[in-house]
Structure 1
Amino acid sequence: MFDWIPSENYTLIYYNMLFMVVLLTVLHTQLLGIDERKNKSYLQFTGKIILLFVILYMGLRPVSGFYFGDMGTYNMYFESYQEGNPIIAKDDVAFHLFMKACSYVMTAGTFFLLCAAIYVLPLWYLSKKWFADYWFYAFLLLVGSFSFWAYGTNGIRNGMATSLFIIALVFTERKAVMIFFLLLACAVHKSILLPTVAYGLTLVQNNPKKYFYVWLAAIPLSLALGGFWENFFAGLGFGDDRMSYLTEGNINEDDFSSTGFRWDFLIYSATGVFAGYYFVIKKGFKDKLYHHLLNIYLIVNAFWILVIRANFSNRFAYLSWFMLALVIIYPFLKQRFFLKQHQVIGYVLIAYFTFTYLMNVILA
């Protein structure tokens, strides 16, 4: 473990390290062509270093519920299973079975390292499969996303489930493998049912224009009907006990709870909508896989907008936000749209990470 790093500075160091890498990468985008050998060498070398850094730094962090939220709870579960106690959890049993199995053969520290690997490696694998030599741009955006660190250190189970969902998207041409990962993701965290259902809808109707209308309609519907949607979805029982977030107050004094209509986070979400609209509608970008990805994002984010006032609505927002980096960067790495596209990629990198740094460091 990195015990020599004070826990109170641990997260800050992560963001500062990533900030330096982002600046260095942006510098390369401004000085070198994307296909130049020096640039490709930089992407491969730096990408491998950052992959190892993120897994090890996240996975070997000190065990702390104070600084890393739910990590303390998971540690108590793990220690209970080490003592031979049975699984008492009724929800997301797959994760508890995984935890109990690990408790027989490893320490809690090794378990959290394994969780970090399961969280991060699918992002690397998808980036490599989708973007080949330019995978590091996508991977850097993913690990530099606003909620990435929080869901690797606090909402660990949710983060792992979203990564399993992402790996399923790699196997859209191998249905059995894709379905396996989708089911596994839902078993680890039932909230993944929402993006899974959204993906199913895109298999029936994959026209982005219609989902843009759905997303836009969600804003006035949320503004006009207020808490109706929270009560409506809670009444349906969607997402099991997590629906208590929709109707209960701010029981844990969370900073992103019961704070009204979050225009700032709506604008953040809208960056993905704007990117999709620009490339698909304005530029005529036709890519079936991207259309699926974009439409899943639009559907799930629209759901969050409807329940935006709910307690812990960030947990619903994350069900779309974990795809935001891919929605934004995918077209840039698949087709040329700008004369100096490599430089534009640099602008996107710095703008995207600036929001992350602003919210998690400067305004934290």
Structure 2
Amino acid sequence: MRIGIVGLGKISGAYLTTLASLPGVRVTALADRDPLRAVAARDHAPGARAVPVDELLTSDEVDLVLNLTIPEAHAEVATAALRSGKHVYGEKPFAMDLGQARTVLAGADGLRVGCAPDTVLGTGTQTARKAVADGLIGTPTAANAAFTSPGHESWHPDPEFYYRPGGGPLLDMGPYYLTALVHLLGPVERVVAAAGRARDIRTIGSGPRAGTDFAVEVDTHVTGALVHAGGVVTTLTTSFDVVASTQPRIEIHGTEGTLSVPDPNRFDGEVLLRPRGAAEWKALPPSAGYTGAARGIGVLDLVTNHRAGVPHRASAEVAVHVLDVMETLLSAAHRRTGLAVSTTCEPPAPVPLDEVAVDGRPSPTA
């Protein structure tokens, strides 16, 4: 499948590296609002052309548009690509709000629409998912999930969009955690939440604009309780206001044990099990997931399953539900009440453990 990439910012490097080594896909076109970025990216996509955005979206040499733009542009670019008959795979969040998301999906008309994160397809989350499904912790009863950091302005040279509508710790990092929780425990039915921000002005800490102040327009600490369809209650915290923390990323608690799940922003990582009565944690060997995966494996999963005629895993259905959960959390926090989540989804098919091919590429299993 021929891929055109729109948006050649920081995350694009990871995608370009992965896509260059994957079978069944080829990057043919590159576009960015800064044309020089598109030209520079050609070094990582041999044979790809640097073109204006409008030309890429209508090109006969593009089958799928990989949408790596900033959140404010996600829905606009996706809608335009679908209108031109292209499949779409985008970065998270799926859109700025549920209304935009529904507009995007209304234009799909049989085309494939996928969305990050695809980190949940790696051996970390998938091994944990298999452990839960196999009953290693008994019946799941509760979970806790936490992303905490002092913010992205210390390392990102243009961090303002993280602190504007569509950003913040919940919409930026929440998709990793919530998508993993959907895979592990199923969709979310209702939430309660609280939110706030530590300060209204932040300062860029790196790059040519270091020392520049900018305004914070969104909540930078959001915490909530999520009730999953099966009755499991998850406590979730996302924050740009924490200097340091020793909290685990995700823990799943059951009637017969507890599971420590690795960072959902990574594809792999150690899954730890502490059965009831055990004195120590036990590391579980990888038992499910794409081995050696990296950003872009969701694109390959979409392409492979499109050819097989079955649902792909990094799906719009899951991404829209996750967006709805985040939007509902923020609304519940601001209204100081509990709210029902209006959407639901089926957890994607689990990923069986695959073998790494001799050339180091993941071998997809539909």
TM-score by length of 1: 0.26
TM-score by length of 2: 0.25
- Which protein is richer in helix relative to its size? 1
